[in-house]
Amino acid sequence: MPTWSSWVPWALLSACFAALTAVLAKLGVRDVDSNLATAIRTIIVVLLLVPAVVATGRWSNPFSLPPRTLAFLALSAAATGASWLCYFRALQLGDVTKVALVDKTSVVLVILFAFVFLGERPSVRDWIAIALVLLGIGMLVLKR
């Protein structure tokens, strides 16, 4: 199992890029349909990632992967696409600060889904943190 220090920098970088994504996407959906904006973003992601994988020598025939792996990756891609479509539409309609906060309820859902589907067992401290995250999001987003 990876040590704490091996994954933390990557998770922090992910959070930074996700934050930039929200602000840059809000600017990008001002004058275009949100679905078209999502499609353009997706094409650019593919154009950046495939050469990066090839350049690092990590490319292999994806069809040689086990069918179960391909199925879960396909389902993950479908969920990502649906998430991006919804996220860009929400950004087009709402304030980025509120959209980003509500979007981060995904953190809570990940923990709940990992509990149900992967058998991960959060500690009491983790459950308290989940409740506090939900409470904080509710306080910031819901009107009186």
Region 1-18: what's the mean pLDDT? 83
Domain locations along the chain: 4-103
Contact criterion met (CB below 8 Å) for 3 and 76: no
Percent helix / strand / coil, the chain, rounded to 5: 80, 0, 20
Task: Report the C-alpha dihedral over residues 15, 23, 139, 85, rounded to 10 degrees.
Answer: -90
- How confident is the model over 24-62, as pLDDT tens digits? 999 999 999 999 999 999 999 999 999 999 999 999 999
Q: Give the tens place of pLDDT for each residue, 120-143.
A: 999 999 999 999 988 988 887 777
Asked if residues 38 and 80 have their Cβ atoms less than 8 Å apart, the reply is: no
pTM: 0.83
Other beta carbons within 10 Å of 122: 14
pLDDT digits (tens, 9 = 90+) for 78-127: 999 999 999 999 999 999 988 988 898 898 999 899 999 999 999 999 99
